[in-house]
């Protein structure tokens, strides 16, 4: 085990104990230091591959704490990480030596059923949000796993079961409360700080600490959803059917395909579907999928939306090792499908999978320049998710993901979804921002000229 580190500035100089004590005395939340009992748990995220040792974790209780933490970090020249749900696969929520501004204690949610809006603090998870909105028969379009943080997800776009009908999560943000690098709390919406409002809808964690979001919620309560699982030897035909089925399906339906193993370790291919409209109509829409070929299991049924949102939680337990590669495809051609099946059959762990997601619909009707999120026309998104339990095997599984991603390159559009990127090159990050990168650099320069918020999919302040 590494010896407890101390708080150091970016030049490697230790920050005096007296300064830390003064900061602690002014803080309402928890200041967690390497010698504290709570530290080991607080420095971890779900992905065991991430092993960082921050010098200090400032678990904020409100906006005043966020302001205090930002000012303390700036005045002492600290490296800064911002933690929402901690789900970024490459551990951007954490840092070594510097300070983590941790929002996980800020989970307040207020739903206004009359206006169909939800105000949500920056540390809430999707599970927290779904629980509150569901009481009013509403839902905010977000991701598909209950433990993901709403903050990181919304700032990078946000795709999930409602994306085709109601758009990306960032398309449903009405306003942001944010603390910028100068320590000022600001509002960003269509009337105030409009450039910031534009940049926050797809520009990631580059512009400050978002303390709360106001979202538009939609009437979604019971959906028709679940998994259909087929044997792996039918994978190519199932994926070809999935491609044609998704192209012609109504926008109420979002469906992903996955080359996975069953919990018993049997290689399989699955389609996970969610229909968010009228249930009788949904039964008709899903009929062709459910009668295709001979599935091993068909668990599609009406369920409360929060239940749909937890169906896949078990596939990503805390403490396993994870490594991801992803890209958008130009098209899901027969040749691309054959290659994907070949790589799935060579997977080095039964926990590893390949997921294909199809969006289009409402998300594609927003103009590329209307928000910072640029990948509006992209259709099939592909993710190689390597997952394993033995730390000594890391290289083997990482190599599988890298080799698979390299081999699919001829079918890639060269574009990427920001939220699925792990540790990637500057060029890949730029490609994810696409034609909006220049404008994002200008907004970054205005609100964060010193690149104070750098541990993210970083946008350099324009020279
Ligand atoms: C198992 C799993 C399933 C996923 N499923 C989906 C999905 O269905 N759809 C989808 O779109 N994405 C999905 N993702 C990707 C997810 O959207 C991103 O990893 C996202 O960054 C997670 O947000 P977070 O707050 O949990 O992350 P964190 O790791 O806490 O933060 C990620 C980034 O956002 C910044 N950030 C976090 N909170 C704030 C804040 N309050 N203010 C400013 N910056 C902040 C961080 O600094 C960091 O750069 C999934 C990820 C995992 C691990």
DSSP 333-353: -HHHHHHHHHHHHT-SSTT-E
Residue 336 Cβ contacting ligand 1 at under 6 Å: no
Please give the Cα distance from 269 to 235 (Å, whole number): 6
| Atom nearest to 88 CA in ligand 1 | 19
> Residue 33 has what pLDDT?
97
Q: What are the angstrom distances between the C-alpha of 374 and each of 180, 201, 382, 439?
A: 23, 10, 17, 12
> Residue 1 has what pLDDT?
47
Query: Which pair of tokens denotes residue 263?
Result: 């919990």
Q: Distance from the CA of 18 to the center of ligand 1, in angstroms?
A: 34
Long-range (24+ apart) CB contacts under 8 A made by 94-97 are: 94/43, 94/45, 94/50, 94/52, 94/54, 95/52, 95/54, 95/455, 96/5, 96/52, 96/53, 96/54, 97/5, 97/7, 97/8, 97/53, 97/54, 97/55
Please give the Cα distance from 137 to 144 (Å, whole number): 18
Structural contact between residues 290 and 298, judged by C-beta atoms closer than 8 angstroms: yes
> Residue 463 has what pLDDT?
62
Residue 85 Cβ contacting ligand 1 at under 6 Å: yes
Residue 167 Cβ contacting ligand 1 at under 6 Å: no
Query: What are the phi and psi torsion angles at 167 (to 5°)?
Result: 90, -175
Q: Distance from the CA of 153 to the center of ligand 1, in angstroms?
A: 4
CB-side exposure of 366: number of CA atoms within 13 Å?
25
Mutate which of 69, 73, 84 for ligand 1 pocket (most atoms within 8 A of beta carbon): 84
Mutate which of 143, 326, 458 for ligand 1 pocket (most atoms within 8 A of beta carbon): 143
Residue 83 Cβ contacting ligand 1 at under 6 Å: yes
Q: Exposed, middle or buried: residue 61 (CB in 10 Å: 0-12, 13-18, 19+)?
A: middle
Q: Distance from the CA of 391 to the center of ligand 1, in angstroms?
A: 24
- The residue written with tokens 């607080």 in the block is 42
Q: Mean pLDDT for each consecutive 10-residue tract of the chain (463 residues)?
A: 72 93 97 97 97 98 98 98 97 97 98 98 98 98 98 98 98 98 98 98 98 98 98 97 96 98 94 98 96 93 98 96 97 96 97 97 96 91 98 97 96 96 94 97 97 96 77
Q: What are the angstrom distances between the C-alpha of 379 and each of 248, 251, 259, 320, 353?
A: 13, 13, 18, 30, 20
Query: What are the phi and psi torsion angles at 14 (to 5°)?
Result: -70, 145
| Atom nearest to 453 CA in ligand 1 | 47
Structural contact between residues 82 and 101, judged by C-beta atoms closer than 8 angstroms: yes
């Amino acid at each position: 085990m590494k010896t407890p580190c101390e708080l150091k500035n970016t030049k490697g100089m230790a920050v005096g104990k007296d300064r830390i004590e003064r900061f602690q005395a002014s803080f309402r939340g928890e200041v967690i230091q390497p010698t504290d009992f709570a530290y080991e748990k607080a420095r971890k995220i779900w992905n065991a591959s991430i092993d960082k040792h921050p010098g200090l974790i400032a678990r904020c209780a409100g906006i005043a704490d966020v302001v205090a933490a930002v000012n303390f970090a700036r005045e002492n020249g600290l490296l800064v990480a911002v933690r929402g749900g901690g789900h970024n696969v490459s551990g951007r929520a954490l840092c070594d030596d510097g300070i983590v501004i941790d929002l996980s204690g800020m989970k307040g949610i207020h739903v206004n059923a009359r206006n169909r809006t939800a105000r949500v603090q920056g540390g809430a998870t999707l599970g927290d949000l779904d629980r509150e909105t569901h009481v009013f028969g509403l839902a905010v379009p977000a991701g598909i796993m209950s433990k993901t943080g709403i903050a990181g997800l919304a700032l990078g776009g946000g795709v999930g079961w409602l994306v085709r009908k109601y758009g990306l999560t960032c398309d449903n943000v009405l306003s942001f409360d944010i603390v910028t690098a100068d320590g000022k709390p600001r509002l960003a919406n269509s009337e105030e700080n409009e450039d910031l409002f534009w940049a926050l809808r797809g520009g990631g964690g580059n512009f400050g600490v978002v303390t709360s979001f106001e979202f538009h919620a939609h009437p979604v309560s019971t959906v028709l959803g679940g998994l259909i699982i087929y044997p792996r030897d039918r994978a190519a035909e199932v994926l070809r059917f999935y491609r044609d089925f998704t192209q012609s399906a109504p926008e109420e339906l979002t469906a992903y395909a996955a080359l996975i193993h069953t919990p018993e370790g049997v290689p399989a291919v699955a389609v996970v579907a969610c229909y968010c409209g009228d249930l009788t109509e949904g039964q008709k829409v899903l009929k062709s999928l459910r009668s295709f070929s001979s599935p091993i299991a068909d668990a599609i049924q009406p369920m409360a939306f929060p239940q749909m949102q937890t169906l896949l939680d078990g596939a990503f337990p805390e403490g396993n090792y994870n490594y991801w590669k992803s890209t958008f495809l130009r098209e899901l051609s027969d040749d691309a499908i054959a290659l994907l099946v070949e790589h799935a059959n060579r997977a080095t762990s039964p926990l590893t999978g390949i997921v294909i997601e199809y969006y289009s619909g409402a998300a594609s009707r927003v103009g590329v320049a209307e928000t910072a999120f640029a990948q509006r026309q992209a259709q099939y998104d592909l993710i190689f998710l390597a997952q394993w339990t033995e730390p000594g095997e890391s290289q083997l599984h990482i190599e599988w993901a890298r080799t698979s991603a390299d081999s699919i390159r001829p079918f890639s559009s060269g574009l990427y979804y920001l939220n699925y990127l792990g540790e990637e090159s500057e060029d890949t990050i730029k490609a994810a921002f696409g034609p909006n990168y220049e404008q994002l650099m200008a907004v970054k320069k205005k609100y964060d000229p010193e690149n104070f918020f750098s541990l993210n999919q970083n946008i350099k302040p324009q020279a």
